[in-house]
Amino acid sequence: MRIVSNGVQPYIVQTGVDTDGETQEDVTTFRMKLDVSEWPVKQKMAAPMPEVLPSTHVEKKNNKKKKPSKRYWEQTENPDQRKPEEEQSKDVQKQKKARAKNTQLNRKKFEPIEEEKPDPFPGEAPVPRQRLQKFKRGKKYILPPKTLRKLKTAIVFSETVSHLAQDQAARFDLLLPEDAGFLEGDEGEDTSTISQDDIADAVDITSGSKYFNLDLSQFGPYKLDYSKNGRHLLLGGKKGHVACLDWHSKDLMCEVNVMETVNDVKWLHTESMFAVAQKRWLYIYDSKGVELHCIKKFNDVLKMQFLPYHFLLATASATGFLQYLDVSVGKQIAAICTKMGRLDVMAQNPYNAVIHLGHPNGTVSLWSPKQKEPLVKMLCHRGAVRSLTIDKTGTYMVTSGLDRKLKVYDIRALKPLHSCFLPAGASCLSLSQRGLLSAATGDVVQVYRDVCGSRPLTKPYMAHRLRGQVCGVAYCPFEDVLGIGHGQGFTSMIVPGAGEPNFDALDANPYRSSRQRQEWEVKALLEKVQPELIVLDPGELGKIDKATFEQRHKRKVESLGFDPLGKEPFKPRAKKKGRSSAGAVERRKKKVAYEDQRDVIRESVQEKMEKQKELEEKTKAMKELEKKTALDRFRK
């Protein structure tokens, strides 16, 4: 071992002896900031110091001398002899490459292929029957034996499409995250005694903020209306105050005093327009409070209903007229004189868009814009009808009258299910999306559960007392909130389990942007339903007309004025050699005329024969009765 220094950094070099007798040095470096003089003395004593190495600190491992390259005159081998060897080496290389390729191919061929394991549960997961029943669209259509091939294919295709839609809706029902709320009391506690303050303190902050009061005693009492998506609130005071706001964020959109009596307010297809029924005429405003239209054809309007899928505003006036306004065009579609006096009770059926009107004589009539007579007229109360409401499925109707009775009707059968007696009667009624009924009597609002069942009403689910006389109640869509308009302003009441927990974002999205609202408005206008399609049973629109061929033929003859299937009048052919003279043509026409009259004569003869048989049978029956005596009944 020896130490080689290069400046301050020493390096240890280990030398060894090769088998050939030549020296071989392995170099190992240690970087230390030491001087050679500071190295231990034992190492210095171990061996005498060798000669100083050259300046380079790495030595070559082999000191063999390189052979000098041979000159051209020193080459002994013949270059011609090397060519066949090079060619042989190239052939050998090609053979080796070919062998390597073949071996790779053979390996790929004989490699064992892993077989795919069969799926133990093939296909889609089955859907439970209970969930399928929830989205059922009706009974399957049974094809008659003699139907056309094209009709069969069309019916089968529509059935498959409806079945697929039902299956998909049942599958995606699992993805709906929210559940309906509820209110449960302690043992022996009545839920109607729980106050709104206690509910607001028990729920979270966002839900507790939904209970609030607006003190508007100067311009009351107030009518109210929620938008279709439940985001915006419209208020209208009897003394002219109109305001609309985003009640989630409590942002005021506009506030106007029309300086005239306001009878009713109603949102139109979007939250950018609303209608106000003032003392004389009907007015349309935008969301900033700017007056857009004054429609003088609609005068003395008391109640309004908006049909969202038809873009129709239905109004009921004090003069007894029911009028329809097409909002998309701005024209009056129909004006019907009901001849039943003042119309101050009105509701719409969301299932078929039929308007229900309550009258002072205790009747409720159902109307369509294309018919001048009521579709149905039913007697509901002994006194005048005060209020009525219909559930979202269009199956049940709840009415209240001056006889202080609350009745629930099944619209399909037009029969009452049950009724109950209220001590003070109900002035305002409203049904929620989940079937909760709110009934206002004086300054108290009561909420009932399971109204549409077979059991009669017993006790209220919730109750709340207000500071003024209640003028209007309405549930907010997709929220557990009941809006109450009264003489002292407005109150938002928390009702757990009232609203539908999941909304359809393509139809009513409370969180949509202005761009999404514009796109929805264009699509809704393109899909607008015509007013001629408003009927009592919408299922009739998709059914086949089963009228006989004769009935349809009669209708065609009445509409066209002639028989399209009748025979053409006889025209004799022109003949030669004097056979087409006027006399010959008339003779030929007379011969054919008798043939046309034969059918008519046969029908008349058959009718006479049938009438004679009926008369003979009647006379025989009369003679037999005359022959009988009072004692004939004892004969066996």
pLDDT in tens, 203-241: 999 999 999 999 998 998 999 999 999 999 999 999 999
- Convert the pLDDT of each residue in 34-85 to its tens digit: 444 444 444 444 444 444 444 444 444 455 556 666 665 555 545 444 445 5
Nearest-angstrom CA–CA distance, 264 and 224? 8
Boundary-marking domain end, from 484, 503, 520: 520
User: The domain spanning residue 326 has which CATH number?
Assistant: 2.130.10.10
Q: What is the DSSP annotation of 30-76?
A: ------GGGS-HHHHHHS---PPPPS-S---S--PPPPPPPPGGG--
Answer yes or no: are the C-beta atoms of 324 and 545 closer than 8 Å: no
Please report whether residue 315 resides in a domain.
yes
Q: Are 253 and 365 in the same domain? A: yes
What whole-number distance in Å separates Cα of residue 391 and Cα of residue 135?
A: 18
Distance CA 354, CA 367 (A): 6
- Token readout for 407 is 């009745």
Domain boundary among 502, 520, 538: 520
Query: HSE on the CB side for 41, CA within 13 Å?
Result: 0
What percent of the chain stands above pLDDT 90? Answer: 50
How many Cα atoms occupy the beta-carbon half-sphere of 5 within 13 Å? Answer: 13
Mean pLDDT of the residues in the chain: 82
Residues 159 and 194 in one domain: no
Whether residues 131 and 232 fall in one domain: no
Q: Are residues 189 and 331 in the same domain?
A: yes
Give percent of the chain with pLDDT exceeding 70. Answer: 80
Domain co-membership, 207 together with 324? yes
Burial class (CB in 10 A: 0-12, 13-18, 19+), 632: exposed
SS3 (DSSP) at 374: coil
β-strand partners of 256: 242
Range of the domain at 159: 126-175
Q: Which residues contact 237 (CB under 8 A, 6 or more apart)?
A: 216, 219, 220, 221, 222, 262
Last residue of a domain, one of 159, 175, 191: 175
What order of strands is seen across the sheet that includes strand 281-286? Answer: 262-267, 273-278, 281-286, 291-299
The answer to whether residues 264 and 148 belong to one domain is no
Are the CB atoms for 427 and 387 separated by under 8 Å? yes
Residues in the chain, how many?
A: 636
**What sign results for the dihedral spanned by CA atoms 258, 260, 261, 264?**
negative
**Cβ(273)–Cβ(292) below 8 Å:** yes
pTM: 0.67
Which residue shows structure tokens 């090397």? 82
In a domain, 103, yes or no: no
Least confident of 119-123, 474-478, 515-519, 546-550: 546-550
**Mean pLDDT (whole number) for 390-414:** 94
User: pLDDT digit string (tens) for 300-347?
Assistant: 999 999 999 999 999 999 999 999 999 999 999 999 999 999 999 999
For residues 401 and 437, state if they share a domain.
Answer: yes
Q: Is residue 634 part of a domain?
A: no
With a CB cutoff of 8 Å and minimum separation 6, the contacts of 224 are 233, 234, 235, 236, 265, 472, 474, 483, 484, 485, 490
Place of tokens 């989630």: 248
Q: How far apart are CA 391 and CA 337, in angstroms?
A: 27
Output the CA torsion sign for 593, 595, 598, 599: negative
Residue 620 inside a domain? The answer is: no
Domain count, the chain: 2
Residue of 115, 112, 166 lying closest to 138 (CA atoms): 166
Helix (H, G, I), strand (E, B) or coil at 19: coil
Q: Which two tokens stand for residue 616?
A: 């003979």
- Residue 362 in any domain: the answer is yes
Residues 163 and 268 placed together within one structural domain of the fold:
no
Judge whether 90 lies within some domain.
Answer: no
pLDDT bracket for residue 530 (50, 70, 90): very high
Which amino acid appears at position 195 of this protein? S
Q: What is the arithmetic mean of pLDDT over 540-544?
A: 74
Residues 164 and 256 in one domain: no
Comparing 545 with 185, the larger pLDDT belongs to 185
Closest CA to 482 of 453, 443, 440, 451: 440
Whether residue 221 has a cis bond before it, omega within 30° of 0: yes
Collect all residues with Cβ–Cβ distance below 8 Å to 117 and sequence separation of at least 6. none
Q: Token pair of 5, please?
A: 């220094």
Inter-CA distances, 174 with 161, 169, 477, 480, Å: 21, 9, 22, 22
For residues 201 and 199, what is the distance between their CA atoms, to the nearest angstrom?
5
Lowest mean pLDDT of 8-17, 102-111, 125-134, 368-377, name the range: 8-17
- 494 and 373, same structural domain? yes
Alpha-helical segments (H) within 455-574: 514-526, 549-560
Asked whether residue 84 is assigned to any structural domain, the reply reads no
Say how far apart CA 336 and CA 321 lie, in whole Å: 6
* Domain identity same for 336 and 386: yes
Asked if residue 130 belongs to a domain, the reply is: yes
Position 96 confidence tier, pLDDT thresholds 50, 70, 90: low
Tell me how many degrees the CA angle 233-238-243 measures, rounded to the nearest 5: 30
CA gap 351, 395 in Å, rounded: 8
Domain check: are 311 and 346 in the same one? yes
Using the structure block, give the residue that is written with the tokens 């056979």: 579
- What gap in Å lies between CA 175 and CA 146, rounded to an integer? 44
Q: Which residue has the higher pLDDT, 107 or 118?
A: 118
Rounded Cα gap, residues 159 and 155, in angstroms: 6
Q: What is the pLDDT of residues 570-621, one digit of tens each?
A: 777 778 777 778 888 888 877 777 776 777 788 889 999 999 999 999 888 8
For tokens 């969202």, name the residue: 308
